[in-house]
Amino acid sequence: MAQGDKKTGTPGMNAIFVLNHDEIRRIPKHKKITYARLVVDFRPQKADPNRVRMTAGGNLIEYAGELTTRTADLTTAKIVWNSVLSTPGAKYACFDISNMYLHTPLAPEDYEYMRIPIAVLPEHTIEQYNLHEKAKNGFVYLECRRCVYGLPQAGALANKLLKQRLAPAGYFEVKHTPGLWRHVSRPVAFSLAVDDFGVKYVGRKNADHLVSAIKRHYPLSEDWKGNLYLGIHLNWNYDERWVDCSMRNYVLRGLQKFRHSPPDKPQHAPFPIPARKFGKAAQQPEPPDESPLIDDEEKTDVQRVIGTFLYYARAIDSTIQPGLSTLAGEQSKAKKETVRKMKWLMDYLATHPNATIRYRASDMVLNVHSDASYLSERGARSRAAGYFFLGWAPVDGEPIRLNGAIIVVSAILRCVAASAAEDELGALFLNMKEAQIL
């Protein structure tokens, strides 16, 4: 991030510069000096997967410009995967720009400033940069001349510069789909999530054109097998035209984080199902939860479980979405019954830790299966559900051909429906709103 490291021979990016005492006094008065954070992460797609990076505390930065970054979501990526399988001769590759933010300069008037305790820096770095003389009150002051990680404007500025640099080569972002890019004439399209490219191409020379356009400005790592994108493992079979999507070891790492032991008996249901009722009793809502409230620590545990497995549910295992949405609806006033449901869900994940979605080549016709369950949630509420997949147009007299889901909607209706028919209409309304966007 600075001017390199003599001990390891790592070249510098000139993103930050150490300030001496006189330069510290000349920091503009309107600039807030933020703090530096050390963030540890594991990124298996990187050359060195064990990452330690210094980021700026963005909550103290005041920036008057645009902060919104158009980036691809999971649905866009899944549609691209379906398109690869359904286009004759198409293949998929994953590219990753190394340190994309650090390749984005800031205007001199927009330089930002941060400080870091000298005590957390290695001795050879202190010696190389003469930090004992430059430190003030135990802190080293840094001037950020490029988009350091953590700056709120970093994503927007880096994305804007990427558009400017790729435009002369003919690449542009599709107007109404954030993060989806195409070429003006070549059969190349890609989803872009920050600095991760998921590329559909027909013909290697067309993909090489994109690679050369990026490499004019950025260092690029290339995965021509297209095996990992957004943390999702992709196993392609171009001959039989299918791809399997999974997140290996994600569940096991999550359960280890919460120190959850596997259940004594296998748990094959993701959440407790109320006993079936017959006759008039079938129209009665679920009774209110009378169990005692839990303390703040247990409530935090519930919130952490939801946060950890929500991405996995949206990306791969939709069977846990109803359980997660129920926990999310109860987390603000969580009770002992909420904790029981949380443990039940983790027992299910421990029993079935490696879910997989398979997509097959299709006619790319959007199919939506809509349904609702009447009075199945507490407070006389009902659940809406929708299964969205890219398949074929239905043919009278023939069974519907299914495919892997690109979206699964699982939501509790806000209103209290007067009948099962109203439930179905409410679910249909929610699903058609999503379908209209697609």
Give yes or no for residue 165 having a pLDDT over 80: yes
CA atoms 156, 160, 166, 172: torsion sign = positive
Domain count, the chain: 3
Tens digits of per-residue pLDDT, 41-96?
Answer: 877 666 677 888 889 998 899 888 888 888 899 999 999 999 999 999 999 999 99
pLDDT of residue 182: 97
Choose the final residue of a domain: 114, 144, 174.
144
Same domain for 170 and 129, yes or no, is no
Same domain for 272 and 137, yes or no, is no
Average pLDDT, the chain: 91
Query: Sheet holding 365-377: strands in order across?
Result: 365-377, 381-391, 405-412
- Cα 436 → chain centroid: 23
Domain assignment present for 67: no
Query: Scanning the structure block, which residue is given the tokens 């490291």?
Result: 5
Domain assignment present for 69: no
Exposed, middle or buried by CB within 10 Å (0-12, 13-18, 19+), for 41?
A: exposed
Kind and range of the H or E run holding 151? none
Percent of the chain with pLDDT over 70: 99
Domain assignment present for 235: no
Domain assignment present for 240: no
Same domain for 223 and 323, yes or no, is no
pLDDT of residue 45: 62
Same domain for 366 and 254, yes or no, is yes
Q: Determine the straight-line distance between the first and last CA of the chain, rounded to whole angstroms.
A: 40
User: Which letter, b or e, does each residue of 336-348 get, where b requires 16 or more Cβ atoms within 10 Å of its Cβ?
Assistant: ebbbebbebbbbb
Domain extent at residue 51? 16-62+106-144
Tens digits of per-residue pLDDT, 265-315?
Answer: 999 999 888 777 777 777 777 777 778 888 888 889 999 999 999 999 999
Same domain for 284 and 326, yes or no, is yes
pLDDT of residue 91: 97
Domain assignment present for 414: yes
Same domain for 91 and 111, yes or no, is no
Q: Residue 30 has which token pair? A: 């309107």
Whether the Cβ atoms of residue 121 and residue 52 lie closer than 8 Å to each other: no
Same domain for 131 and 179, yes or no, is no
Same domain for 37 and 125, yes or no, is yes
Same domain for 432 and 331, yes or no, is yes
Same domain for 224 and 200, yes or no, is yes
Question: How far apart (Å, rounded) are the C-alpha atoms in residues 200 and 83?
Answer: 8
Same domain for 260 and 404, yes or no, is yes
